[in-house]
Amino acid sequence: MHDPRIDKLAKMLIDYSCAVKNGEKILIEAIDVPHAFSTALIRHTRAVGGHPLVMLKSNEINRALMLDGQPEQWEVIARVEKLQMQNVQCYIGARGSPNVSELSDVTADKQKLYESTVWEKVHRDVRITKTRWCVLRWPHPSMAQMAEMSTEAFEDFYFNVCTLDYAKMSRAMQPLKKLMEKTDRVRLKGPGETDLTFSIKNIPAICCDGRVNIPDGEVFTAPVKKSVNGVIRFNCPTIYRGTTHNDVHLTFRDGKVVEASSSATAKLNEVLDTDAGARYVGEFAIGFNPYCVKAMKDILFDEKIAGSIHFTPGACYDEASNGNKSAIHWDLVMRQTPEAGGGEMWFDDKLIRKDGQFVVKELRGLNPENLK
């Protein structure tokens, strides 16, 4: 049965997010998503004169490849996928997850092998830097379960989040970008003992307005690499390499994570010991999507929660670089809304947001009631 919401989302991705032009090629990487969505993307690509390429994948198959993965095998896969990525101007990564823990029994060294080949050589080096790209999740029942919602209610939520008026949001976030780019010192206060300070001086702030992620709704930058000091306790659950972590608690000294604990402390420190850059932070971002209001253990949604921030051990983005390099990039989310314990965000000793609501006049357009 035809779902007009699928058509609306596909059209938005092709026309707005990737802005595919006549004669351009787009790679559609569909991982465990319905063929109806892939065919809708193909149809809308052709409507604007573009040339679609499609790569179908499965998390179950990827797990099987990773379990017995050898360097020679992943190098060939990376070369093939890199060649394809180098020959397109646009990319859409539609990622479903019938089982969000599918990779939980793949050892860290096997996952690292995949990350150092396909992820780094295809996605980090080519896709992120040389294409107009957009990544999105697909609403599987497993996501509805994690969100503690019925499948139908979750799908309604998903399409509301993914097809809101991103052009309006884009206009509302420009004052935040300007303010962040004038700011030196940031202080975050939150539930428990959270009290963290760092500098964002002279690092660009980047607006995320539906062009590279769906759902979207954040402005990100990076902390000056060695400026981070204090303690932060993240109150949203997070999944990394298939393992769920609750109550991630990090202590920083001169930019470096010197203490780390969670509900899976050994696994947490295993990730943070991946390489020299993994204990430094590559991103600081402020989230404000009005339809994202609670954590659901899916980072593309959780990092956009209205009234949240995320702080990211690992690699920085080239557009907002602090020089930190790493094979990992792990977005950890802290909500500062009243139901999550509240909190404050200060820029250069001025209160900017309290309990998840922007209090500065020029930023109030980003509060949820003004974006719906």
Q: How confident is the model at residue 181 (pLDDT cuts 50, 70, 90)?
A: very high
Which pLDDT does position 104 carry in this prediction? 87
Which pLDDT does position 148 carry in this prediction? 86
What class has domain 4-162?
Answer: alpha beta
Neighbouring C-alpha atoms within 13 Å toward the C-beta of 329:
19
Round to whole Å and give the CA distance between 274 and 227: 21
Please say if the pLDDT value at position 62 is more than 80: yes
Q: DSSP code of 315?
A: P
Instruction: Please name the residue ranges forming H helices in the chain.
Output: 4-12, 35-47, 59-67, 71-86, 108-114, 128-130, 141-146, 151-162, 166-182, 265-272, 299-302, 368-371
Neighbouring C-alpha atoms within 13 Å toward the C-beta of 355:
4
**Residue 160 one-letter amino acid:** N
Please say if the pLDDT value at position 192 is more than 80: no
Classify burial at 145, counting beta carbons within 10 Å of its beta carbon; exposed 0-12, middle 13-18, buried 19 or more: middle
Q: How confident is the model at residue 290 (pLDDT cuts 50, 70, 90)?
A: very high
| Residue pLDDT, tens place only, 201-241 | 999 999 999 888 888 999 999 999 999 999 999 999 998 98
Please say if the pLDDT value at position 184 is more than 90: yes
Which pLDDT does position 329 carry in this prediction? 95
Round to whole Å and give the CA distance between 147 and 222: 29
| Residue pLDDT, tens place only, 81-132 | 999 999 999 999 999 988 888 988 999 899 999 999 999 999 999 999 999 9
Please say if the pLDDT value at position 2 is more than 80: no
Place of tokens 């690699």: 315
Which pLDDT does position 164 carry in this prediction? 87
Round to whole Å and give the CA distance between 6 and 141: 17
Please say if the pLDDT value at position 250 is more than 60: yes
| Residue pLDDT, tens place only, 136-172 | 989 888 888 888 889 999 999 899 888 888 989 999 9
Place of tokens 């690509």: 45
- Domain ranges for the chain: 4-162, 166-371
Q: At what angle do helices 4-12 and 151-162 cross, to 10 degrees?
A: 30
| Residue pLDDT, tens place only, 308-338 | 999 999 999 999 999 999 999 999 999 999 9
Which pLDDT does position 178 carry in this prediction? 98
Round to whole Å and give the CA distance between 201 and 173: 19
Which region holds residue 349: left if phi is over 0, alpha if psi is between -120 and 50, else beta?
A: left
Q: What are 274's two structure tokens?
A: 């991946």
Average model confidence (pLDDT) across the chain: 94
Please say if the pLDDT value at position 1 is more than 80: no
Q: Which residues of 261-298 are buried (b: 16+ CB within 10 A; e: fewer)?
A: bbebeebbbebbebeebbbbbbbbbbbbbbbbbebbbb
Round to whole Å and give the CA distance between 244 and 300: 15
**Residue 67 one-letter amino acid:** L
| Secondary-structure breakdown of the chain: helix, strand, coil percentages, each rounded to the nearest 5 | 35, 25, 35
β 90-95/132-137 pair status: parallel
Q: What are 126's two structure tokens?
A: 């080519």
- Smallest CA-to-CA distance from 95 within 103, 87, 105 is with 103
